[in-house]
A and B are shown apart, each in its own frame.
Chain A
């Protein structure tokens, strides 16, 4: 079921600014993943953070995880127009399926 919730639903920033998106989930997890979706396309996996990790970096992406609050955040630093997309979190509770949030639409203006 759809348990994850992203916040905000939409975010509009200028190029060069940082973008922060938050995600909450409801059950215990093995890992938490973030995906990106360009308009009208499929989702692409960005980054994964395990339940025993608190922070992870990949290029301009920084993900944090707080299992006590069942929440995660995705920070994109120095945003570019090409970062314009929807971003989804997905929680993995150890089963074959993932539980996706409803997504944050990010618009980065030049």
Chain B
């Protein structure tokens, strides 16, 4: 079974802090994704990566950056956390060449910025 592991289930940070959210997958997937999920807004794509050191902006990249130094790891970085970044963050991965394009999700990180 595919396993996508997010390093923290809950995080509490202060405004202005630099925050790292880590995601690791064990299925050798090329694609990795970061979403945020807010009530009434569904899932919104922040960034995705289709290869090591490659990244593409999603729908809401402002205030975020990402890092993909190894194929299995995709990090989301909040350079200076703000209260409007309080949200549920979901990481996912998928196989680049699989036509079905099924995504596998981690359990999520609920981030609170105070």
Contact = CB atoms under 8 A, between A and B. Distances in A.
Contact of B102 (A42, A45, A88, A97): A45
Contacts of B40: 102
Nearest to B110: A40
Nearest to B96: A96
A45 B50 CA distance: 20
B34 to A, nearest CB: 12
A2 B59 contact: yes
Contact of A42 (B42, B45, B90): B90
B59 to A, nearest CB: 5
Interface in B15-34: 31, 33
A103 B92 CA distance: 17
A48 B42 contact: no
Contacts of B58: 97
Contacts of B110: 40
B42 A41 contact: no
Contact of A101 (B4, B42, B48): B42
Given A44-B105, A45-B103, A96 B48 contact: yes
Sort A-B residue pairs by CB-CB distance and give the 7 closest, nearest first.
Answer: A42-B105, A102-B42, A100-B43, A43-B105, A92-B101, A42-B107, A45-B102
Interface of A: 1-2, 30-31, 33, 35, 40-45, 48, 88, 90, 92, 96-98, 100-103
